[in-house]
Every structure is written in C-alpha cells, then in structure tokens.
Structure 1
Amino acid sequence: MTDRRSLPLPWNDRAGHLSPLKTAVLAGLVLPAIWLLAQFAAGALGPRPVTELIHGTGDWAIRFLFLSLAVTPLRRIADWPKLILVRRMIGLAALFYALTHLCLYIIDQNFGLARVASEIALRIYLTIGFAALIGLSVLGATSTDAMIKKLGRNWTRLHRIIYAIGVLAALHFFMQTKADVYEATLMSGLFVLLMFFRILHWRGFDIGSPLVLGGAAILAGLATAGIEYAWYALATGVPPERVLAANLHFSYMVRPAWWVLATGLTAAAVPLLRPLAGEKRPKGGGRKPLRAAAG
C-alpha cells in the first residue's frame, strides 16, 4: 500500500488534518487561473486572446511571488506562526503561473523553439524574465522536505536568491510594460517595503513596533515615488516632473507611492490591534538568534 504521508494533500497541515488557512489560500491561488480560462472560453480576451493570457499569467506570477515574500514579515508582525504553512504553496503558485506564462509565449510563437530561444537571447527584457524563471524553478525544485533536509544550511543560502529573483521580476515587469508602468511601480514599491521590513529585522530592530513599521512605510512610499520618477526620466518621453507632481494630486488617480505607504501603515497598525484580541506580546520583539529558513 502507498504511504499516505508520501502524498500530502495541499489543504492539509503537517499532521494530516484539514487546514482552513491552507484551504482558503489554495482556493485563492487557483481562482485567477479559473478566471482566465473562463474569459478565454467566453471569447472575452479580445482579438489576441493568447497574448492577453500571456500578460495575465505573468501578472499573477509576480503578484504571487511578492505575496510569498510577504508571508514571513506578516507572520512576525501579526505574531501568527501558522502563516508559514502557506509560504511554500504561494511560492509554487508563482512558479506555476510563470511557467504557464512561458508556455503560452511558446504557443504564441507557433512552437518555434529556435525563435523563442533567439528572442530570449536578443531581447534584454526577455533575458531578464527568463533568468528570473530559472531561479524560481531552482527554488521550486528544492522546496520539498527531502531537499530541505538534504541541503541543510545550504538550503537557506540557496533560497536567498529569491531577493535577486524579485529584483529581476520587477525589472522585467517594467520593461515589458513600457509606457503605463502603474502596476509595475506598485509591485516594485511593495517589494521595497517588504525588503525594508526584512532589513530592519536583520539589523535587530523590533519588527513588532508600530514606530519602526511606520518609518519603513514612509521610506518605502518615498522610494516608490523615486522609482516611478526614475523610470519615466530614463525610459520614456514623458516629463518625469509631471509624474512626480501627480503624486500630490488626487483628482485623477492615487499614485502607487500612496498605496505602498497605506499598506505599510496598515501593517504598522497590526501590533496595535493585537491587545484588543487579548494577546500579550512577549518582550524583545527583535531578531531571534536562530532562523529555520531564509524566508
């Protein structure tokens, strides 16, 4: 008979019991794929449906990549240890959407693998995206419990390349989006915010302090505005001063910098809400001496 422990179900916890958290997250990870397929079947993706699917799967790949990076900071900020159960699941979902993104591109090129390879080699934004996909594939292949045990501490060192992958993915998103980089800027700003949270933790700051988190939120918001300004200054013909000035006006739309600031301030409010739930936070919320994974 097959040992059931060798075939763990994605909605179960490590003890083999149904996990409401993992079940809800799994449903959320699958829904974008179902929605895209439904749109395709209904003929609602316009005259170039495969191209729209390429863009859609690529967008969700980077969203889930950054969401996986948000798990560890949120676990610390909210003091929610069980949240770590869904980090691998979200990371694998990012890999699935990224691989689907590549496969759809190959289909769009009529399965001309030589042409696809040539395009990846000659177009720098495709080269960057492919490098991110290779790195993500390596992390996915080494994410099993057996590989974690086999690699030991080297597993943690290897999985730190996720930060470089995040940078490559954000740059690929910018370069393939070209003119309208609203969401690319937003995703990059959120990535910066997550990295600020990590850096503060690594440097021994209290990641559960609203003041520390609020400071990170302000810096990330400013950095996001700077990223948007720099992109328009270097890569487009749009006057970057107009984009920077748009951050101070809300008549048209809220710029990404403000959304990043709001997200960071929301995270800063989480420690203030814990006492309302009757939770007492242990003293010394800074960096722990040992960590099980790079996270």
Structure 2
Amino acid sequence: MKSADLYPWADRAGRFSPLRAAVFAALVAPGLWIAAGLAMDMLGPEPVKSAEHLTGVWTLRILLIALAVTPLRRRLGWSRLIGVRRMIGVAAFAYVLTHFGFYILYLNGDLMKAASEIVSRLYLAIGFVALLGLAALAATSFDAAIRRMGPNWRRLHMLAYPLTLLGVLHYFLQSKIDVGAPALLFGVFAGLMLHRAFARAAIPPALVVIGVALLSGAAAALGEYLWHAVLTGIPADRVFMANFDFRYDVRPPWLAMAIMAAPLIFLPPWRRAVQRARALRGGSAPAFRSQ
C-alpha cells in the first residue's frame, strides 16, 4: 500500500504535500466542529437530529467540491488539483456514512424501523440509493480497482453526477417548504454541469465563468420556483420576486452566482484568455487531461 493511501497528507512519492495536508484539514474540520457541538451540547434540543442534518449537508457540499476539481483544473490550469480529487470523494462518502449512522442512532438503533421508513418514504429511499452508489464509488477509488476495472472504472465513476443530483433531490424533499439551501446547491450543481458542457468550447475562460455564473443563479431561482409551483402551493411568483428584495438576506440565486463567479479572481488577464481561445480555434488544446 502506498504512503498516499496510509497518510492523506503525503503525495504518491511519500513526501509531505502542503496542498494535500491543507485539503485534508479542510475536509476534517466540519466533522470536528460537529463532534465538538455534540460534546458540548451546542446542537440544540435534538443534537443527534442536528448532527444528522449537518453531516448530510456537508456530504453534498463536499460532493460539489469534488465535481468542481476538473473545471477548476481546466479553467485555471491548476493541474495539481487532480491529486486531491480522490481524497475529496472518499471524504464525501465518510460524511454520508456518518449521516446514515446518525439517522440510525436517532431511531435508537432500530434497524427494522429504519428499513421500514426507507421503503415507505420517498426522500429516504432516494437518499439510501445515493448512499449505496457512493459506497460503490468509494470502494473502487483506489489504484488496484482502477487497474482491474479498466475502461469500466470511468463509466462507474461517471455516476458521481447523477448521485449528487439524487442527494440534492433528497435535500429538497427533506426540506419540504424552506428549500433555499437545496436550491443553492442545485444552482451550483447546474453550473458545474455547464462547465463540463463548455469544456472544449473556443470561448475565453472569463466569458465562460461569467456565463455559467449567470445560468447557475437562474437554475437556483428556477429550481425553487418550480418546487413551490408544483409541490407546495406557496405562491411561486412571490418566492421568485423575493430574490430581488435585499432587505433581509441574500437569496440563493445570488449566492450561486457569487460562488460560480469566484474563479474570476484567479483567471489570467483578458488578453491571455483571448490568446488561449485563439489557440483552441487553431486546433491546439490546453495541456490538460480530461477527467
């Protein structure tokens, strides 16, 4: 077994990697914060339920970060990011497994009751399917599985995209009325899928980022609007218009746009972006390997 498998802060050569160490610390931090909240009784009147919710939300956030690795690598030229994608994906599985563990604990360890609820409640069934899918991805995330599976490995791991969408749907169904948080995650997910769609487009990276950010905000607004229009009976038009009222908070579409526009800070100047687009039109491609 390689050092990178034993020590997450080591690179493939066994050397200490500041990037891997920083990513590992960032991934562990939410779990430590939740554990501290439980230990110090800071998670409200139902601490186990709160911990279940928080680990579920962090699962989705980490999944989206994992899906963001390839777009960031392509747009910004950060080739070393590919080395931490596996760690991020495995961390997402660790969080979803902990999420499921807290759910069982909330039911006092009654596995039969848990099975009955999973079968009878749609949002739980969707979440359980996502859990099983992520377990399959985590179990095959190591070098030996990649060599053994060959081209089938890539096909299997493309399931990360629909599994993330299932997780967001699970969050929508669990939230019922207040779906601002899942709408935000849906907007970010839509933006990441759009980055894949524009991966080979001969368009300056800055324009792609701006366009995707705008469409990401639109997706968050549309997701929230359709949710209320179809399922809740709450006036969807009022919910939509609330996105333009900044007296109380910043609504999900604007947050989604801000998140997806963040790479603009790191992009090269416009002149270099245009030169890159011209190079693409001429047939030369950036020295990045696709996922």
Rate the CA distance shift 1:162–1:291 in 2: closer, same or farther, 3 A: farther
Contact preservation (8 Å) 1:76, 1:207: no
Query: Aligned residue for 2:262?
Result: 266
Contact preservation (8 Å) 1:206, 1:212: no
Query: Aligned residue for 1:253?
Result: 249
Q: Number of paired residues? A: 287
The C-alpha deviation readout for 1:263-290, integer Å capped at 9, x for no partner, is 23332453235989xxx96933999699
Rate the CA distance shift 1:135–1:7 in 2: closer, same or farther, 3 A: closer
Contact preservation (8 Å) 1:179, 1:236: yes
Query: Aligned residue for 1:169?
Result: 167
Contact preservation (8 Å) 1:210, 1:269: no
Query: Aligned residue for 1:28?
Result: 26
The CA distance in 2 between the partners of 1:197 and 1:40, in whole Å, is: 38
The C-alpha deviation readout for 1:217-247, integer Å capped at 9, x for no partner, is 2222212111110111122232111111011
| 1:247 alignment partner, SS class | helix
The answer as to 2:207 corresponding to 1:211 is yes
**Which stretches in structure 1 are left out of the alignment for 5+ residues?**
none
Rate the CA distance shift 1:4–1:170 in 2: closer, same or farther, 3 A: closer
The CA distance in 2 between the partners of 1:207 and 1:156, in whole Å, is: 27
Q: Which of 180, 185, 193 is matched with 1:187 structurally?
A: 185
The CA distance in 2 between the partners of 1:164 and 1:231, in whole Å, is: 19
The CA distance in 2 between the partners of 1:86 and 1:22, in whole Å, is: 6
Query: Aligned residue for 1:178?
Result: 176
The answer as to 2:4 corresponding to 1:19 is no
- Give 1:116 deviation, angstroms: 0.6
The CA distance in 2 between the partners of 1:239 and 1:60, in whole Å, is: 30
Rate the CA distance shift 1:199–1:104 in 2: closer, same or farther, 3 A: same
Identify which range, 161-170 or 265-274, moves more after superposition: 265-274
Runs of 4 or more consecutive aligned structure 1 residues displaced over 6 Å after TM superposition? 289-293
- Give 1:12 deviation, angstroms: 0.7
The answer as to 2:207 corresponding to 1:240 is no
The CA distance in 2 between the partners of 1:273 and 1:45, in whole Å, is: 45
Identify which range, 146-155 or 283-292, moves more after superposition: 283-292
The percent identity for this pair of structures is 45
| 1:46 alignment partner, SS class | coil
| 1:60 alignment partner, SS class | helix
